[in-house]
Amino acid sequence: MADTSYLAWPFFEERHRLLARTLQAWAKQHASHHDEDGDIDAVCRAFVSQLGRDGFLGLTVPKDGGGTYDKLEVRSLALAREILAYHHGLADFAFVMQGLGSGPISLFGTPEQKQRWLPGVARGDRIAALAMSEPDAGSDVANVSTVAVPDGQGYRLNGVKTWISNGGIADQYTVVARLGDAPGAKGLAVFVVEAGTPGFSVPERIDVIAPHPLGRLEFRDCVIPAGNLIGKPGEGFKIAMSNLDVFRSTVGAAALGFARRALDEALARVQVRKVFDQKLADYQLTQARIADMATEIDASALLIYRAAWTKDMGAARVTREASMAKMYATEAAQRVIDSAVQLWGGLGVTRGNMVESLYREVRALRIYEGTTEINKLVIAGQTYAAYAAESQP
């Protein structure tokens, strides 16, 4: 069982501890390890439906859209991701995509837009997706080339999106596109495209090392009503970055959940595995490895919940804190899980073993919502800016 002593840290309130206990019990009942040869789409749909029925998806939208709190609360989102990821990668995926996919509506939508698109997300009746990445625009959102052109009554959308989570199973897609002639980040806007809209298709599903619903989207003269524009023209980059400010640190939380599970699996294994008539746990090399794993887990948790608390306390932006949390926690989780595989030996690379599954699950987290390298650039830029500000006379 994962260590829960961190819940006593001052970042948390009693309601967070109650959430952790409640969701832990839910996950034990509903999120046992899955058969990856099964129907992944069906598994994700089932998780969304169950999470919605049991009230947990209320955390992914604000109260004026049918959610739990007045605004998106990052500590609750991070706790939920950590706990769900500990038990089942797809449970975490199903949960967070409801929030990430509808986040621009939660943050910048009008009251009418929130009422139209968010209550179904909170109930688990509608599956959400976020469509930003393109073949030539991943972490570089300002390089988006999908184009929206006004057509008198709305917009006509043309372009391709790829590596889109929930691509093919979502009911609504929040799409970042280029609107107008302004260059780079200044020319972007955000739209909601509903599945089934003429001109919109998902021609390809993408198979990755840890099975998740991913797809390539195409827009060919896809007509979008004017009321589907979120925010204002030209605000697309700000909306996208604000969404990541909320959810980027929770990627670290998912990695933390994977890492905690890996440590627990390693601890159980070294107590029973014998090498030269001695338990693996008794070797100093093993103890040093376990110490490194435990320390990296605590360091990750501190960075994640520092970022989450800072945002919840009203900080306008937590770009630096969220990038640090995401970068460090995902890289640390990769090291922790690799150590767990090593301690399990040959069984650790056997398909169906939990640490083998974790090894594949964690890899993508170092890429999506800003690669490790991009986050390092962000952190350095923020550090330079802070230094320059402090150096002014």
Find the DSSP H helices in the chain: 14-30, 40-53, 74-87, 89-108, 111-117, 119-123, 236-272, 284-312, 319-344, 354-363, 372-391
**Which is the catalytic residue, given 204, 296, 369, 373?**
369
Cα–Cα distance for residue pair 149/366, rounded to 1 Å: 34
d(CA 247, CA 23): 19
Q: Is 369 a catalytic residue?
A: yes
Question: Taking CA 120 as the corner, what is the angle to CA 116 and CA 125, rounded to the nearest 5 degrees?
Answer: 145
Gap between the Cα atoms of 78 and 263, Å rounded: 19
Biggest CA-to-CA distance, the chain? 79
Helix (H) or strand (E) holding 177: strand 172-179
296 in Cβ contact with 335 (< 8 Å): yes
Task: Specify which residues 154 forms β-bridges with.
Answer: 225
Cβ partners under 8 Å of residue 90, min gap 6? 34, 40, 43, 44, 47, 212
- Would you say 195 and 162 are in contact if contact means Cβ atoms under 8 Å apart? no
User: Which H or E element spans position 375?
Assistant: helix 372-391
The residues assigned a catalytic role are 369
